[in-house]
Amino acid sequence: MTTTIPLTENIILPGIGPVTPESGMLLLECCSDGRHYPGKNGVYNVLATGDLKVEFILFEDHAIAYINSAMGYPAYYPVPEICLDTPVKAVLMDLDGTTVHSEHFWIWIIEKTTASLLNNPAFELEDSDVPFVSGHSVSEHLKYCCSKYCPDKSVEEARKWYFKHTNFEMNEIMEGRGKKNAFTPSPGIKDFLYSLKDLNVKIGLVTSGLYEKAWPEILDAFKTLGMGDPKEFYDAIITAGHAIRHGEPGTLGELSPKPHPWLYAETARVGLGIPAEERHQVVGIEDSGAGIVSIALAGFAPIGIAGGNIIECGTVPLCHSFANTFEDILQIL
Domain boundaries, the chain: 4-78, 90-100+185-332, 103-174
Position 216 scores a pLDDT of 83
- 80 preceded by a cis bond (ω within 30 of 0): no
Q: Dump the DSSP string for 76-135.
A: EEE-------SS--EEEEETBTTTEE-HHHHHHHHHHHHHHHHT-TT----GGGGGGSSS
Position 310 scores a pLDDT of 92
Query: Mean pLDDT in the chain?
Result: 91
Burial 298-316 (b: 16+ CB within 10 A, else e): bbbbbbbbebbbbebbbbb
Position 220 scores a pLDDT of 84
Write the pLDDT tens digit of every residue in 140-170.
899 999 999 999 999 999 999 998 999 898 8
- The CATH architecture annotation of domain 90-100+185-332 reads 3-Layer(aba) Sandwich (3.40)
Strand order in the sheet with 90-94: 236-238, 202-206, 90-94, 282-286, 301-305, 321-323
What contacts 24+ positions apart, CB below 8 Å, involve 154-162? 155/71, 157/117, 158/113, 158/114, 158/117, 159/243, 161/112, 161/113, 161/116, 161/117, 162/109, 162/110, 162/113, 162/138
Write the pLDDT tens digit of every residue in 14-69.
999 999 999 999 999 999 999 999 999 999 999 999 989 999 999 999 999 999 98
Residues 237-261: what's their mean pLDDT? 83
Q: Which residues contact 328 (CB under 8 A, 6 or more apart)?
A: none
Share of the chain above pLDDT 70, in %: 100
Secondary structure (3-state) at 311 = coil
Higher per-residue confidence, 129 vs 173: 129
pLDDT at 79 over 80: yes
Position 110 scores a pLDDT of 95
Position 324 scores a pLDDT of 95
Write the pLDDT tens digit of every residue in 202-238.
999 999 888 888 888 888 889 889 999 999 999 999 9
Higher per-residue confidence, 119 vs 210: 119
pTM, full prediction: 0.88
Share of the chain above pLDDT 90, in %: 69
Reported as a pLDDT band with limits 50, 70 and 90, residue 1 is low
